[in-house]
Structure 1
Amino acid sequence: MKVLVADDEPVNRRLLEILLSKWGYEVTVATDGEEAWRHLQSPSHPRIAILDWMMPGMDGIEVCRRIREDKSRGPVYLLLLTAKQATEDANGRYESVADDYLPKPYSAHELKARLRAARRILELETQLLEANDAIQSETTRDTLTGLWNHSSILEILHREIHRARRHGTSLTVLMADINDLKQINHQHGHLVGDAIMREVARRMRSSIRAYDSLGRYSGGQFVIVSPDCDRSGAVSQAQRIQSAVSQETFRTFKGDFSVTVSMGITVGCSSHQAHELISAADAALTEAKKAGPNQIELAFK
C-alpha cells in the first residue's frame, strides 16, 4: 500500500521512510504541504498520508482540509503528527479533517499499530463501496444482459425529456424486438434464448453512441434513448443496430442461429411526455413486425 510522508524536517522524514519501507509500504515523500497536496492529487495517489502538523506554507491541517473538500478522489486515511506540547491544540483542530493524530515523540510500535488500524479501516471502506456499487447495480441493471432495467431506462428517458426541453433539442426513442425469440425459447429452451438476448444486448451496445442509453424493456424488447438525434439520424442508427445484430450468426450450445431485430422509432419534441414517446415507438415496432422480420418503422407524431 502506498503511504505519503510529508515532513519539513529531513531527519524525521528519513526515519519514517526507513520504517515504512521496512514494514512493506511503498513510500512517497514530500518536504512540505504544497508538495504533499500535489502527490495526493495524482490519480494513483497514496491511500495513507502521514502529515506533520507544522510545516511552512501549507500546514498538515490545511492539506487535510483540502483532501476532505475534494469529493472526486477515493478515501485517504490522514494521520497528523504533532509535537507533544501542541497535542491539546491539535486535538481540538484535527478532528474535523484528519482521521487520527500521533504526538511526538512516538514509538515505532505505536506508529505501526496506527498504520495497521488505518489499513483495516481502508479495507472496510473499500468493501462498503463495493457493496454499495453492487446494490446500485442490482437495483438499476438488468440481471440477464447488464443493460439498464425497465425502471432505469424510463427514468433516463424522463431526464432526457427535461434536458431536451431546456435546450430545445430533439429526442429519439427506438424500440427493438428480437424476432422469433418465443419460437427459439419454445423449440430450444430458455437457456438458448437467454444466451441470444445477452449477445443481442452486447452487439446493440457496441453500435450506439456513447451518450445514448440502452435498456431492456421487457422480454426480448429493448429501448434506446437517443438525445440530439433527428429522423434521418434515427433511421441510420436503427440500420446500424440491425446490421450489428444480423451480420454474424449466434453460436450457442444448441447450434448456430441467425437473429434479426425489428425496430420502431419515434422522434419527440419538447411537448411530448415519456409515455407518449414509448407508446409511439411501441406502435411503430408493431407495424414493423407486421411487415416482416428485420424491418424498421418510423412513427409520425
Structure 2
Amino acid sequence: MHSRHVLLVEDNAAVQRTLQRMLEEDGYRAICAASKQEMLRILANEEPETLLACLLDYCLPDAPEGEALPELIARQIPTIVLTARNDLATREQVLLQPVVDYIPKENPSAYEYTLRMLHRIEHNPGTRVLVVDDSSAIRGYLGQLLQRQLYEVVEASNGETALNQLVNDPGIRLVLTDHDMPGMNGVRLCSEIRRFRGPGEVAIIGISSSQDPSMSARFIKAGADDFLTKPFNHEEFFCRVTRNVEYVENLQALSRAAREDLLTGLPNRRHFFESVQRQPPPHALAVVDIDHFKHVNDNYGHDIGDQALRWVGSLLSETFGHEHVARFGGEEFVIQLSADLPLAQTLEAFRLRVASAVLPTSRGDLQLTVSIGAAIGPQEVNILLKQADEQLYRAKQAGRNRVSLQ
C-alpha cells in the first residue's frame, strides 16, 4: 500500500492548522514545516519514497521566491504549489517546472481542490492515458505533462495504431488525439473508438490547432468528451484531463455499485440473476448460510460480523470463482456450479474447508460453520433457488453444518 504521508510546508499558522486538520480528517498524516530550513531538516530524516506528496507554500520567510521548490523537484517528490501570489509571472515560473499543480489560495475552494489533487496523486499511477499524434515532439510534450500527475503514458503515431492499442489494452482510461494526422484523422478515430469502447470505459479529448470554429463540435459529435485548442496553458490541460478521468471513474463506480455487494465486493442478487439467466440450462445452484450468525454479532460485535462475512465471501470466491458466487443479503450466499460437477462432493469439500479454518479477529479466533442447500435441473432460476432454499432448511433442521441436496 502506498504512503499517505504528506509534507505540508506553510508559514501561516492558521492556514497550516486548517490544511492539517483537513488532511487528517481524510486519512492522511501531515508532516508540518513552516520554513525551507525546517523542510530540509525533515527531508534529511525522511526518505522521499515515504512521502506521497508535498503541499508547498511558494513564498516562505527564508525562501520568498520559491527557492524551496527545486529541493523537492530534485528529490522527485510530487509537489502541489499553493500561493497567495497569483500574478502571471509567478504562475508561469511555477508551471514551467514539473509540479503536479499550482493552486492560488485566493480561490475559496482552494483547499478542497488540493485534497482532490492528492487523491489523483494516489490513484493516477497505473491509470493509462493514450496520446495520439503523428509528431513525436508533441507526444513527448503531452507525455511529460501527464507524467507530472503520475499518469502512465502510452503513445501512438496514427489512428490505426491507436485502435490496436485500445483493443489490446482495456485499461486505457483516456485518449488524447490530435486531429490532423496522415491516414485516419482525429474525428474519424473518435468514431471508430466509440464502436467498441463506450464513455464508461474511456474518455476522449480532441486536440487541434485549427481555427475552424466547428472543429470542437465535430469532435463532440463523433464521440469525444472534450476538446482543446492549441496552444493551451498547462492549467487548462490538467483541469480537463482530471475532469475526464474522474468522469470515467465515476461511471465505473456507479456500474460496480449496481452489480456488486458493497460489503464483500461479490456480485449482488441482481447481477447473479442476470448472469445465470444468460446461460442455457441445466443449472446447479447452492444456497450457503453461516450458522448461528446472530451469535457472532451478539457476542463479537457487528464489526467482527462484517469481517466474517467478507472472509466467507473470499473463501467462496477463491473456491468457485468470483463471477459464480453472490451475496444475497444477511449471512446468505449463492453459488452457481457446473451441472457436470459432482455436486455433493464439491459442496461437502467447501463445508469442510470453512469448518476447519480459523478466522483471527481483534477479539480472538473465530470458527464458523455453514449449512448448504442445493438443487440441479432445467427449471427456471427462481424455481431452482426455491428448491435449494428448501434443502437449506432441511440441513438446518438436521443440525446445521451439513449439505443437503434435492
TM-score by length of 1: 0.72
User: Is 1:148 aligned to 2:267, yes or no?
Assistant: yes
Secondary structure in 2 aligned to 1:111?
coil
User: Is 1:176 aligned to 2:285, yes or no?
Assistant: no
Counterpart of 1:206 in structure 2 is 318
Letter in 2 for 1:289: K
User: Is 1:96 aligned to 2:218, yes or no?
Assistant: no
Say which structure, 1 or 2, has more relative contact order (CA 8 Å, 6+ apart). Answer: 1
Counterpart of 1:219 in structure 2 is 330
Aligned counterpart for 1:16 among listed residues 119, 138, 151: 138
Deviation at 1:256, TM superposition (A): 1.5
Matches of 2:306 and 2:154, distance apart in 1: 49
The change in CA–CA distance for 1:22 and 1:171 in structure 2 (over 3 A counts) is closer
Gaps spanning 5+ residues in structure 2: where? 1-127, 148-152
| Count of equivalent residues | 269
Letter in 1 for 2:339: C
Counterpart of 1:281 in structure 2 is 388
Conserved in 2, the CA contact under 8 Å of 1:188 and 1:254? yes
Q: CA RMSD in A?
A: 3.5
Counterpart of 1:51 in structure 2 is 178
CA offset digits 1:140-163 (Å, max 9, x no partner)? 4333323233x42xx533652453
Deviation at 1:224, TM superposition (A): 1.4
User: Is 1:121 aligned to 2:240, yes or no?
Assistant: yes
Deviation at 1:175, TM superposition (A): 0.9
Conserved in 2, the CA contact under 8 Å of 1:4 and 1:46? no
Matches of 1:277 and 1:162, distance apart in 2: 15
Deviation at 1:208, TM superposition (A): 0.8
Deviation at 1:62, TM superposition (A): 3.0
State how 1:179-198 maps to structure 2 within 5 Å.
179-198=291-310
Matches of 1:142 and 1:121, distance apart in 2: 32
Conserved in 1, the CA contact under 8 Å of 2:357 and 2:367? yes
The change in CA–CA distance for 1:56 and 1:198 in structure 2 (over 3 A counts) is closer
Secondary structure in 1 aligned to 2:197?
coil
Deviation at 1:116, TM superposition (A): 4.4
More helix by proportion, 1 or 2? 1
Counterpart of 1:112 in structure 2 is 232
Gaps spanning 5+ residues in structure 1: where? 8-12, 103-109
Conserved in 2, the CA contact under 8 Å of 1:161 and 1:171? no
User: Is 1:298 aligned to 2:376, yes or no?
Assistant: no
Deviation at 1:298, TM superposition (A): 0.7
14-23 or 283-292, larger mean C-alpha shift: 14-23
56-65 or 277-286, larger mean C-alpha shift: 56-65
CA offset digits 1:36-77 (Å, max 9, x no partner)? 555565627694534352x44334443343233331652231
The change in CA–CA distance for 1:289 and 1:138 in structure 2 (over 3 A counts) is same
